[in-house]
Amino acid sequence: MKLSKIRLITAALLSLSLAAPVAPVFAQQPSAPAMSAPATQPATAAPETTGSTQALPTSGSTPNGSVTPGLAELSPWSMFLQADIVVKAVMVGLALASVITWTIFIAKKIELGRARWRLRSALKQVAEARSMSEAQLALGDKTSPLSMLLSAALHEARLSAGLTSDDGIKERAASSFSEIVRAESRHMRHGMGFLATIGATAPFIGLFGTVWGIMNSFIGISKSQTTNLAVVAPGIAEALLATAIGLVAAIPAVIIYNHFSREIKVYLEMVARASGAALRLLSRDLDRSHGGGRHVRAAE
């Protein structure tokens, strides 16, 4: 009995000694998943964050980096500097044509205004004159078409002294008046040919610059092998600038030409009135001279 009790106690002690180191192992096993889980979470989150930060610059860098700066540089001066030498020559020529147009406008406006004022004043001064000599005294040393007409009439009257044909004297004087009127018309129309030429040819010259610039743009597109707007737009804008400058030069030239055509027509009508006034004064002098001769013959 005692031997069996000893065996049972010995077996219980052995079982306890074997079970003691196993318990800590099982106690540590639940903590392993808790430590491994946080380690795997940063590993999976890091690629997601990295991928999102790389996608944002990629989506915004292409339009902001290529299109916007290119469009910001498209000013008229920069387009002129970047244009081809032929397009630059066209632009410079059209700019000079525009300067010529406005120079003619200012000079012709001053000249025509002064001529109309002098002629209107001369017509008022000789309105009450009874003879050519009185008219010349009223005009004095002032130069105007009317003074030239009176000088021509007096010259013809002196050359025709002793002739009895009044019609012949008037016809020759009228011929001299026509030459003076034509000379005045040519003088006032000086510079109108430039305006007509600029107004007619400036759009076509600008169109030539545009066609040349677009040809160069297409050549550049074929070399770069891209149809991106940032590559195509600058060349086409430079080409269209030539047409814009051509229109800027042509439109004012046409308007100014039509304006001066009307103004010169009004002025030439005033010159025609002055010619009629001079011819009437010559006719009065001729009638007065023949009337005095008739009175002398009647007294004899």
For the segment 205-234, the average pLDDT, to the nearest whole number, is 79
The answer to whether 235 touches 217, Cβ cutoff 8 Å, is yes
- Distances in Å between the Cα of 83 and the Cα atoms of 4, 87, 89, 254, 257 are 117, 6, 10, 28, 32
- Compare 68 and 280 and report the one with higher pLDDT: 280
Note the pLDDT of residue 296. 35
% of the chain residues with pLDDT over 70: 69
Question: Tokens 């009508």 sit at which residue?
Answer: 269
Instruction: Give the pair of three-digit tokens for residue 225.
Output: 């092998």
* Whether pLDDT at 104 is above 70: yes
Residue 131: Cβ within 10 Å count: 13
What is the Cα–Cα distance from 173 to 153, expressed in whole angstroms?
6
What is the Cα–Cα distance from 243 to 206, expressed in whole angstroms?
4
pLDDT in tens, 167-199: 888 888 899 999 999 999 999 999 899 999 999
Note the pLDDT of residue 267. 94
Note the pLDDT of residue 29. 45
- Distances in Å between the Cα of 66 and the Cα atoms of 60, 79, 229, 276 are 10, 18, 9, 75
* Whether pLDDT at 252 is above 90: yes
Question: Tokens 């018309």 sit at which residue?
Answer: 185
Note the pLDDT of residue 14. 53
What is the Cα–Cα distance from 270 to 145, expressed in whole angstroms?
10
pLDDT in tens, 134-173: 888 888 877 888 889 999 988 888 888 777 777 888 888 8
Mean pLDDT, the chain, rounded, equals 75
Question: Computed from CA positions of residues 99, 104, 106, 107, in that sequence, does the dihedral angle turn out positive or negative?
Answer: positive
Q: Which of 65-79, 168-182, 245-259 has the lowest mean pLDDT?
A: 65-79
- Compare 53 and 14 and report the one with higher pLDDT: 14
Q: What is the largest CA-CA distance in the chain?
A: 210
| Residue 84, Ramachandran bin (φ over 0: left; ψ between -120 and 50: alpha; else beta) | beta
* Whether pLDDT at 200 is above 80: yes
Note the pLDDT of residue 105. 95
What is the Cα–Cα distance from 285 to 297, expressed in whole angstroms?
18
Residue closest to 212 by CA, chosen among 187, 246, 178, 182: 246
Residue closest to 247 by CA, chosen among 200, 202, 214: 202
